[in-house]
Amino acid sequence: MSLPEFRLLRPRTIAEAIELLAKHAPDMQVIAGGTDLIPSMRQKLFAPRYVLDIRGIHELRGIHSRPGGGAEIGALTTLTEIENSDYLRQHYPVLVEAAATVASPILRNMGTLGGNICLDTRCLWYNQSLTWRKGCGFCIKKDGNICHVAPGGDTCWAAFSGDTPPALLCLETEIEVAAPGGTRRLPLHDFYTGVGDNYRKLQKNELITRVFLPQSSAGWQGAYRKLRIRGSIDYPLAGVAVVLRRSNGHVEDARIALTAVNAAPVLVKGIREALAGRPLDEAAAEEAAEFAGRTAKPLTTSALTPEYRREMIRVFTRRALLQAFKS
């Protein structure tokens, strides 16, 4: 499958990138590692006239501890750098574990944290070649007006399928967005819309520049579990991140977030209330797993059934909680 024709622009600074975005958006697409965008362009899901390659902007790279506590990660930092960071492994282990499950080593060498946060939502009826999609009469997400997953409706339910965002949600991460009018900072949980064909609150002329991990989430134990068809490379079809703080054999606080089962990565509500002050035994883990199972809303967007994916959310939540509590 060939790539559509486009003009590649390579800024060296954030200011230069924003200037180019202001000039060429909406007919421009940002590229970081390209591990998701390039296959999608080959499938003709995107055919921008301009592609903005941000890899030459060095200020977007690196993992830095902040003077007042917490950490800052540049949007261009690769998943391999995150996986290999001793600092992150010590202070934010759930992020390292989640990053290490993305795709395969070669894709993690190219793939970036910013690209993982901005990852397009996925669906069996959408991530296909042009010929395949044409044969099915297209769908709401691109070029059509029906949804094969929920026929009769006018909503796209494609699933958000990035591995690091649930870990980042558990860590109460904030992101920085650069735009022609200046920069803004927002909690990651405000970034996603929950709508499959318009899944993120990012204008075409905006760029994610940095990710902030707060000091208050440092040192929490964590675990990440994902379901995928090919263990060595695939996107998650269900994923669970958990973090918790332990004190005197009891849970002091805990958070759980899910991916690949809704149109956005989501935090499970009520976990702190359910677990705080209790030892984390099988019964407590099972109770939290029920909350997670009820939060997951998988549909027929993937090759595995919604029932199986929801059940695996429960199984993974229980296992991840028990592992995190013991670690």
Ligand X SMILES: Cc1cc2nc3c(=O)[nH]c(=O)nc-3n(C[C@H](O)[C@H](O)[C@H](O)COP(=O)(O)OP(=O)(O)OC[C@H]3O[C@@H](n4cnc5c(N)ncnc54)[C@H](O)[C@@H]3O)c2cc1C
Residues that bind ligand X (CB under 6 A): 29-37, 39, 75, 79, 102-103, 107, 110-112, 114-116, 118-120, 162-163, 207-208, 233-236
> Cβ contacts of residue 114 below 8 Å, gap of 6+?
32, 60, 75, 76, 208, 211
Task: For the CB of residue 133, give the shortest distance to ligand SF4 in the complex, in Å.
Answer: 9
Query: How many Cβ atoms are within 10 Å of 254's Cβ, its own excluded?
Result: 27
Task: For the CB of residue 219, give the shortest distance to ligand X in the complex, in Å.
Answer: 25
Q: Distance between CA 280 and CA 52 in Å, rounded?
A: 48
Task: For the CB of residue 247, give the shortest distance to ligand X in the complex, in Å.
Answer: 33
* # residues contacting ligand SF4 (CB under 6 A): 14
Q: Is 148 in the site for ligand SF4 (CB under 6 A)?
A: yes
Q: Residue 156: which of ligand X, ligand SF4, none does it interact with, CB under 5 to 8 A by kind?
A: ligand SF4
Q: Tokens for 91? A: 């202070």
| Stretch (H or E) spanning 244 | strand 238-247
Cβ-contact 166, 265 below 8 angstroms? yes
Q: Which 8-state DSSP code applies to residue 311?
A: H
Amino acid identity, position 326? K
Q: Is 92 in the site for ligand SF4 (CB under 6 A)?
A: no
Q: Which is nearer to ligand X, 26 or 153 (CB)?
A: 26
- Helical H segments across the chain, by residue range: 14-24, 37-42, 79-83, 86-91, 93-99, 105-110, 113-117, 130-135, 164-170, 271-275, 282-295, 306-326
As a whole number of Å, the CA-based R_g of the chain is 20
Task: For the CB of residue 260, give the shortest distance to ligand SF4 in the complex, in Å.
Answer: 13
Cβ-contact 250, 279 below 8 angstroms? yes
Q: Residue 29: which of ligand SF4, ligand X, none does it interact with, CB under 5 to 8 A by kind?
A: ligand X
Q: Is 220 in the site for ligand SF4 (CB under 6 A)?
A: no
Q: Residue 33: which of ligand SF4, ligand X, none does it interact with, CB under 5 to 8 A by kind?
A: ligand X
Q: Is 126 in the site for ligand SF4 (CB under 6 A)?
A: yes
Q: Is residue 67 reached through a cis peptide bond, with omega within 30 degrees of 0 on the bond before it?
A: no
Which of the stretches 147-155, 205-213, 241-249, 277-285 binds ligand SF4 when contact is defined by CB under 6 A? 147-155
Q: Residue 63: which of ligand SF4, ligand X, none does it interact with, CB under 5 to 8 A by kind?
A: none
Amino acid identity, position 242? V
Q: Residue 123: which of ligand X, ligand SF4, none does it interact with, CB under 5 to 8 A by kind?
A: ligand SF4
Q: Which residues, numbered 284-303, are part of the site for ligand SF4 (CB under 6 A)?
A: 301
Q: Is 140 in the site for ligand SF4 (CB under 6 A)?
A: yes
Q: Distance between CA 20 and CA 191 in Å, rounded?
A: 23
Q: Is 196 in the site for ligand SF4 (CB under 6 A)?
A: yes
Cβ-contact 242, 255 below 8 angstroms? yes
Task: For the CB of residue 162, give the shortest distance to ligand SF4 in the complex, in Å.
Answer: 16
Q: Residue 255: which of ligand SF4, ligand X, none does it interact with, CB under 5 to 8 A by kind?
A: none
Cβ-contact 149, 74 below 8 angstroms? no
Residues that bind ligand SF4 (CB under 6 A): 123, 125-126, 139-141, 147-149, 156-158, 196, 301
